[in-house]
Copies of this chain bind each other. A is one copy, B any other.
């Protein structure tokens, strides 16, 4: 598996459908890193163009990797070592290309349904297990801006609730999506 994840803080929507840069939730960094470790994701990119937010994310990483956090909780260090902070989705894609020697397919995740270009869990899983380099793109706040959806190669079908409720946190949605796409065959 040559799978990557990106957590996007810009461009995303706020509650009023405006294009914004959201603030970092440090807990998301931990949760995504731990998920990455569990499901053998190669690297998690925390994506924000805001300098102060990049610095906040890097401070969290330093604390847990080099500082007291790493001595206090080794499992956390192990997880957070796979996290990088970058400015844009383009930069994340460029890094992946450097590492893998080829461009990843970008798979956006969205709580709305993007029929034309949507990819089923089965298709996405198959392509990931065929060793296709891929990056799953998750949006914070009220979700990925339409331009990210448009520029992505594919859009993953949403996690649908029984009663049409689809307002999961990005952490829990990422957990479910990773388990569906990268979970072991035995489970």
**A interface residues with partner B (beta carbon < 8 Å):** 15, 27, 30-31, 34-35, 37-40, 73, 75-76, 78-79, 121, 157, 159-163, 165-169, 171-176, 179-180, 182-184, 186-187
Contacts and interface: CB of A to CB of B under 8 A. Distances in A.
A162 B183 CA distance: 8
Contacts of A183: 176
A159 B183 CA distance: 9
A157 B163 CA distance: 28
Contacts of A40: 161-163
Please give the count of copies of this chain that the complex contains: 2
Contacts of A172: 31, 34-35, 171-172, 174-175
Given A27-B27, A187-B121, A171 B168 contact: no
A75 B163 CA distance: 13
B159 A187 contact: yes
Given A34-B167, A34-B169, A167-B34, A39 B179 contact: no
A64 to B, nearest CB: 13
Contacts of A27: 27, 169
A169 B30 contact: yes
A165 B38 contact: yes
Nearest to A76: B167
A79 B157 CA distance: 22
Contacts of A160: 184, 186-187
